[in-house]
Amino acid sequence: MKNVDIEAEKKLLKRIHKAMLVDHTSNVDEVMKYIADEAVLIPPKGHPITGANAIRDGVKAMIKTKVLSMSGGVTRLEVAESGDLAYDFGHFKIVNQGPQGPITEEGYFVTLYKKIGGDWKFMGQIWNNIP
């Protein structure tokens, strides 16, 4: 078993998580380089979005919405001793520009990562919205 620097892996995953935060200034290709081909998104009250191509379409739709503010972030991040699997939990609050004014979304998320070919890849995320 190889010796894994868990803290270094956590720092890298935090950078990746931040790079994947999507807003109206995001570069779709830059975001997609972190997404595994078989990744899955499970949105609130929605069906799973499966595969990188479907997720790309979702990212393209998301960047059309102007984000006024974004806060929150990862509150817990765990990396397996093997150094090839990880997950994070966190909280988010996003204020988007809606047709009739600001719309606030707030909730919690769980994200899964897997090291593929030596690179961390986003494998999936589920999140909720709280009232």
Q: Quote the CA–CA distance of 72 and 8 in Å, as a whole number.
A: 22
Q: What pLDDT score was predicted for residue 100?
A: 95
Q: Quote the CA–CA distance of 68 and 48 in Å, as a whole number.
A: 27
Model pTM score: 0.90
Domain boundaries, the chain: 6-127
Q: What pLDDT score was predicted for residue 108?
A: 98
Structure tokens at 113: 């990562």
Top-level class of domain 6-127: alpha beta
**When comparing pLDDT for 50 and 23, which is higher?**
50
**Which pairs with CB-CB distance under 8 Å and at least 24 residues apart come from 117-120?**
120/9, 120/12, 120/13, 120/16, 120/34, 120/86
